[in-house]
Structures are given as C-alpha cells and as structure tokens.
Copies of this chain bind each other. A is one copy, B any other.
Amino acid sequence: MLIHEMTKDECRIALESVSIGTMACARDGQPYVVPTYFSYDGNHIYGVSMLGQKIEWMRANPLVCLQIWDRKNHYQWLSVVVSGRYEELISSREFESERVHAHALLQKRAMWWQPGLVATEHRAGLMPIYYRMHIVGITGRRAMPDKVEAAALVTE
C-alpha cells in the first residue's frame, strides 16, 4: 500500500462526492465524535441536526473537525480531515437565505434528513437546527495498492 498526501483541490473534490462523515467537537479538553450527514458547496460545509450533545458542545466551543473516509477496499481509500468553526444558522431574517441554501444543498441526497432529525425517545418535538462550518484547514491522504496488491485485487 502506498499512501500519499492529497492536494487541497483533491480534498475539495472528495468532499463534494461524499455526504457522510464524522464530526468532532470538544468541551473542556474532552473530544466527542459522531457520524454526520453534510453537504459541501465549495465554500462551507452544511449540516442539520436536532438539539443534542453535539449541538450543545459546538455552541459552547465552535472549534470543530470533520473527517470523511471513502474506502473501496483495504488498499484503496482516501481520508480527508477538515478543521474549522461552527456557525449556527439561527431561525432569523439574518440567516434566512443561508438556511434556504443549506436546505437546498442537503436535500439533494435522498432521505438526508433522517439520521439527524428522526425522533428518538429524548428529542421528540424539537426543531431542526441548521449550521455551517467555516473551513480553516484541509488535509487528506490517499492510499493505493502497490503492484503486487493491485494484481491480487484483479484476480480476486
């Protein structure tokens, strides 16, 4: 397996092609990470969620990290890590156009809203919270099979 650093453009293309990642936030030095559906418009990362630990922690400390992992097989995958800042698109006139934009982006994926918004025992009746992530840094790594591994994959 050969692992290479990805360029910023390669990272952005990967972010546009994937809609599931893991979002990490932190409070008092303790990180917390959960799976998250998102959409990337080339500038910001958008998401939606019900109120819960993730939103509460991101409100308290807006420094966040999103990671995607697109894995074809053991030898062929890419991982992109995005660090940035959480901003809530609160339900006000100021953020109205951004909320519409976020909704339009997110609904391109069928059933995008379900994992984040479906009611559980603890959050029935709450309103969805839209947010965006301002990107501060992006890094990525891509793994590819070496010649021997590639030959083994072909014959599998």
Contact = CB atoms under 8 A, between A and B. Distances in A.
A3 interface: yes
A29 B26 contact: yes
Interface residues on A, range: 35 or more
A120 B3 contact: yes
Quick one: copies of this chain in the complex? 2
A65 B33 CA distance: 7
A33 B114 contact: no
Interface string A1-42: 111110000000000000000111110011111110000000
A93 interface: no
B34 A33 contact: no
A34 B80 CA distance: 9
Interface string A115-148: 1001111100000000000000000010100000
